[in-house]
C-alpha cells in the first residue's frame, strides 16, 4: 500500500498491442491505447466487441495473450489485481448480502490491513492491534460514506437499499482503496432510466473531485457522450475511433461510428458520385463534391437534426428532391421524432427531430418537403470510410427533399 500518494500524479494507463482469444474466438486484435492521468475515458461499442475483456485485462482479472499494460509508466503484467492500484466497479455491484454497508465498504481494507489471524472472530475480541486497525478502517469508511452520502445507511444490508444506493456502496468499496485508476464496467446499466441520469452526474462530479483516471465501459452512447473526456469506440476487438465525444459525433471516421453515436441513429441514404466528384442523391447533384471517381457508390449520412420541414430558400444552392411521407410521430415530450417513408428504390426512410410546434404542422400519412443542410451531412465510400468534402463544397447549402410526387 505504500507509495500510493507519491504516485498520484502518475496514473496514466498505457496499452500496447493487447491481443486476446478465447479458444478459437479472437476477442481483441492488438489494441493500442494511451490514457492520460486524470482522464475520463469511455469504451463504447456493441455487445460482444471486447470492452469487458479489455478492462478486465487492465484490472489483472484476465491475462492477455500478447501485448503489455502499464500503469503510471510501470509495466504491471506480472502484478496481481490488488497490486495494480486500480479498483473495479461491476455492473452487478457484487456486494456481500449478509454484510452491512459498513462492512461491505470495509472489505478491501480488512483484506489488506489485517492478517488472516486478526480476521478470525475470536481474535477479534482480544487483540489490541486489531482494535487499532479497526479504528483506522472505520475512519476511512466514514470518510468515503460522507463523500457518497451513505452515512445514514451504514448499518443496512444490501437488500435494504435501492439500486442507486447499492451502486454507491459498490463505488464506496472501490474508493476506500484510494486507487489511482477506477475501472467501471457498465456500472449504471442495472438502474432505471431516471436514476441512471442522476448517477451520470454524480459519477462525473466524483471524477472531478477525485481527479483520478477513470476508464468506463458502457454501450450507452449517451453516457459516453456526456461524461467522457475522450471516447474509444470499439468494434470486433478493434478501436475504430478515439477522440473527444464531439469529434466522434461531428467527424465520424466511418459509417459504423456514425451509426453508433447519436440518437436517433443517423439517416443513411444511397448515393452516387457524378461528374466532377459531385455527390448525386437519387440522381440529382448536390453541392457536395468528394475525391472519388465518377460512378462510385457512396452513402450519405444525414443526422436527424439536420432535416427540417419546408421548402428550401429558392435559388439557395443545389436542389435534390425525393418523396417523403410521414409514417409516424414519436412524442418524446420535449421534442418529436418524425419517421418518414421515402419513395426511392433503396431508401427505407428517414427520421427527423422536430419541435412540438413544427411536428404539429404535419399529419401522419401526409406528404411534405424536407430540407437539409449539406454542411451537416457526411459522405462515406463503399468501404464505409468518411470522405472529406472537396474545396468547401460542404458549406451551408440547403437541399430540398421534395414532396411526394
Ligand atoms: N471467459 C470467456 N470464455 C470464452 N469467451 C468469452 C469469455 N469472456 C468473453 N468471451 C467472448 O468474448 C467476446 C467479447 O466479450 P466481452 O465480454 O469482452 O464483450 P463486451 O464488449 O463487454 O460485451 P457486452 O456489451 O455485452 O458486455 C464475446 O464474444 C464473448 O462471448
Ligand atoms: Mg461487457
What is the per-residue burial (b if ≥16 Cβ within 10 Å, else e) of 213-247?
Answer: bbbbbbbbbebbbebbebbbbbbebebbbbbebeb
Residues 28 and 167 in one domain: yes
User: Does the pLDDT at position 398 exceed 60?
Assistant: no
What is the per-residue burial (b if ≥16 Cβ within 10 Å, else e) of 251-282?
Answer: ebbbbbbbebbbebebbbbebbbbeebbbbbb
- Tens-place pLDDT, residues 136-171: 889 999 999 988 888 999 999 999 998 888 988 998
- Choice between 345 and 267, residue whose per-residue pLDDT is larger: 267
In a domain? residue 259: no
Model confidence at 265, pLDDT cuts 50, 70, 90, reads: very high
Residues 201 and 340 in one domain: no
In a domain? residue 255: no
pLDDT for res 401: 56
Residues 36 and 85 in one domain: yes
pLDDT for res 93: 75
Residue nearest atom 5 of ligand 1, based on CA coordinates:
22
Model confidence at 400, pLDDT cuts 50, 70, 90, reads: low
Three-state helix/strand/coil letters over the chain: CCCCCHHHHHCCEEEEEEEEEECCEEEEEEEEEEECCCCEEEEECCCCCCHHHHHHHHHCCCCCCEEEEEECCEECCCCCHHHCCEEEECCCCCCCCCCCHHHHHHHHHHHHHCCCHHHCHHHHHHCHHHHHHHHHHHHHHHHHHHHCCCHHHCCCCHHHCCHHHHHHHHHHHHHCCCCCEEEEECCCCCCCHHHHHHHHHHHHHHHHHHCCEEEEECCCHHHHHHHCCEEEEEECCEEEEEECHHHHHHCCCEHHHHHHCCCCCCEEEEEEECHHHEEEECCEEEEEEECCCCCCEEEEEECHHHEEECCCCCCCCCCCCCCEEEEEEEECCCCEEEEEEECCCCCCEEEEEECHHHHCCCCCCCEECEEEEHHHEEEECCCCEEECECCCCCCCCEEEECCCC
For the ranges 12-21, 143-152, 197-206, 321-330, the lowest mean pLDDT is seen at 321-330
Tell me the percentage of the chain whose pLDDT exceeds 70: 88
Residue nearest atom 7 of ligand 1, based on CA coordinates:
22
Domain end (from 217, 250, 283): 250
Model confidence at 249, pLDDT cuts 50, 70, 90, reads: very high
Query: Which ligand neighbours the alpha carbon of 27 most closely?
Result: 1
Domain end (from 227, 250, 273): 250
pLDDT for res 318: 42
> Within 10 Å of residue 43's Cβ, how many Cβ atoms?
26
Report the chain's mean pLDDT, rounded to a whole number.
86
Residue nearest atom 26 of ligand 1, based on CA coordinates:
47
pLDDT for res 274: 95
Among 20, 45, 52, name the best residue to mutate to test ligand 1's pocket (greatest count of ligand atoms within 8 A of Cβ): 52
Residues 206 and 87 in one domain: yes
pLDDT for res 314: 53
Query: Which ligand neighbours the alpha carbon of 184 most closely?
Result: 2
Contact 330/336 with Cβ under 8 angstroms?
A: yes
In a domain? residue 368: yes
Residues with CB under 6 A from ligand 1: 22, 25, 27, 45, 47-53, 219
Residues 89 and 142 in one domain: yes
Nearest-atom index, ligand 1, CA of 55: 18
Residues 293 and 178 in one domain: no
pLDDT for res 4: 44
Residues 140 and 238 in one domain: yes
Structural domain for 327, as ranges: 264-401
pLDDT for res 142: 93
Query: Which ligand neighbours the alpha carbon of 50 most closely?
Result: 1
Domain end (from 219, 250, 281): 250
In a domain? residue 195: yes
- Tens-place pLDDT, residues 72-119: 999 999 999 988 989 998 877 788 999 999 999 998 888 777 777 777
Residue 49 CA, ligand 1 centroid: distance in Å: 7
Model confidence at 45, pLDDT cuts 50, 70, 90, reads: very high
Nearest-atom index, ligand 1, CA of 219: 25
pLDDT for res 112: 78
Residues 155 and 237 in one domain: yes
Residue nearest atom 29 of ligand 1, based on CA coordinates:
48
Model confidence at 277, pLDDT cuts 50, 70, 90, reads: very high
pLDDT for res 46: 92
User: What is the total residue count of the chain?
Assistant: 405
Residues 188 and 282 in one domain: no
Residue 165 CA, ligand 1 centroid: distance in Å: 28
Residue 185 CA, ligand 2 centroid: distance in Å: 7
Average pLDDT over every residue of 327-334: 94
In a domain? residue 1: no
Q: What is the number of domains present in the chain? A: 2
User: Does the pLDDT at position 23 exceed 90?
Assistant: yes
Query: Which ligand neighbours the alpha carbon of 63 most closely?
Result: 1
Residues 294 and 208 in one domain: no
Residues 274 and 245 in one domain: no
Contacts of 193 (CB under 8 A, 6+ apart): none
User: Does the pLDDT at position 9 exceed 80?
Assistant: no
Residue nearest atom 6 of ligand 1, based on CA coordinates:
22
User: Does the pLDDT at position 7 exceed 50?
Assistant: no
Residue 13 CA, ligand 2 centroid: distance in Å: 20
Q: How many CA atoms lie within 13 A of 102 on its CB side?
A: 12
Average pLDDT over every residue of 50-56: 96
Residue nearest atom 24 of ligand 1, based on CA coordinates:
47
pLDDT for res 395: 55
Contact 319/312 with Cβ under 8 angstroms?
A: yes
Query: Which ligand neighbours the alpha carbon of 54 most closely?
Result: 1
- Tens-place pLDDT, residues 178-194: 899 999 999 888 778 88
> Within 10 Å of residue 310's Cβ, how many Cβ atoms?
12
Residues 305 and 232 in one domain: no
Average pLDDT over every residue of 229-254: 96
C-alpha cell at 334: 420535449
Residue nearest atom 30 of ligand 1, based on CA coordinates:
48
pLDDT for res 121: 67
Among 19, 23, 24, 27, name the best residue to mutate to test ligand 1's pocket (greatest count of ligand atoms within 8 A of Cβ): 27
User: Does the pLDDT at position 364 exceed 80?
Assistant: yes
| CATH code assigned at 212 | 3.40.50.300
Among 42, 43, 51, 54, name the best residue to mutate to test ligand 1's pocket (greatest count of ligand atoms within 8 A of Cβ): 51
Residue nearest atom 1 of ligand 1, based on CA coordinates:
22
In a domain? residue 50: yes
In a domain? residue 214: yes
Amino acid at each position: 500500500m505504500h507509495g500510493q500518494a507519491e504516485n498520484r500524479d502518475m496514473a496514466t494507463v498505457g496499452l500496447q498491442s493487447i491481443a486476446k482469444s478465447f479458444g478459437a474466438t479472437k476477442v481483441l486484435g492488438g489494441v493500442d491505447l494511451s490514457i492520460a492521468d486524470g482522464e475520463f475515458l469511455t469504451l463504447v461499442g456493441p455487445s460482444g466487441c471486447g470492452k469487458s475483456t479489455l478492462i478486465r485485462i487492465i484490472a489483472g482479472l484476465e491475462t492477455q495473450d500478447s501485448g503489455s499494460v502499464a500503469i503510471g509508466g510501470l509495466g504491471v503484467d506480472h502484478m496481481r489485481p490488488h497490486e495494480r492500484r486500480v479498483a473495479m466497479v461491476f455492473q452487478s455491484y457484487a456486494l456481500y448480502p449478509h454484510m452491512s454497508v459498513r462492512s461491505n465498504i470495509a472489505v478491501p481494507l480488512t483484506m489488506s490491513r489485517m492478517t488472516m489471524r486478526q480476521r478470525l472472530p475470536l481474535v477479534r475480541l482480544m487483540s489490541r492491534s486489531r482494535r487499532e486497525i479497526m479504528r483506522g478502517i472505520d475512519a476511512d469508511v466514514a470518510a468515503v460514506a460522507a463523500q457518497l452520502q451513505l452515512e445514514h445507511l451504514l448499518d443496512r444490508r444490501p437488500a435494504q437499499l435501492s439500486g442507486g444506493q447499492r451502486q454507491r456502496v459498490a463505488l464506496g468499496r472501490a474508493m476506500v482503496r484510494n486507487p489511482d485508476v477506477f475501472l467501471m464496467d457498465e456500472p449504471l446499466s442495472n438502474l432505471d432510466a431516471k436514476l441512471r441520469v442522476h448517477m451520470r452526474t454524480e459519477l462525473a462530479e466524483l471524477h472531478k473531485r477525485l481527479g483520478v483516471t477513470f476508464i468506463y465501459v458502457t454501450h450507452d452512447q449517451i453516457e459516453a457522450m456526456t461524461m467522457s473526456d475522450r471516447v474509444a469506440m470499439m468494434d470486433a476487438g478493434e478501436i475504430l475511433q478515439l477522440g473527444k465525444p464531439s469529434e466522434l459525433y461531428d467527424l465520424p471516421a466511418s459509417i459504423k461510428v456514425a451509426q453508433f453515436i447519436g440518437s436517433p441513429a443517423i439517416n443513411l441514404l444511397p448515393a452516387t458520385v457524378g461528374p466532377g466528384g459531385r455527390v448525386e442523391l437519387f440522381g440529382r447533384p448536390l453541392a457536395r463534391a468528394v475525391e472519388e471517381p465518377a460512378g462510385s457508390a457512396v452513402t450519405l449520412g444525414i443526422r436527424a437534426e439536420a432535416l427540417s420541414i419546408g421548402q428550401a430558400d429558392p435559388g439557395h444552392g443545389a436542389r435534390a428532391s425525393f418523396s417523403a411521407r410521414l409514417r409516424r410521430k414519436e412524442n418524446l415530450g420535449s421534442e418529436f421524432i418524425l419517421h418518414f417513408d421515402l419513395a426511392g428504390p433503396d431508401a427505407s426512410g428517414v427520421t427527423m427531430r422536430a419541435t412540438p410546434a413544427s411536428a404539429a404542422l404535419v399529419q401522419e400519412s401526409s406528404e411534405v418537403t424536407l430540407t437539409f443542410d449539406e454542411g451537416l451531412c457526411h459522405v462515406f465510400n463503399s468501404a464505409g470510410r468518411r470522405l472529406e468534402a472537396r474545396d468547401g463544397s460542404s458549406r451551408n447549402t440547403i437541399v430540398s427533399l421534395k414532396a411526394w410526387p
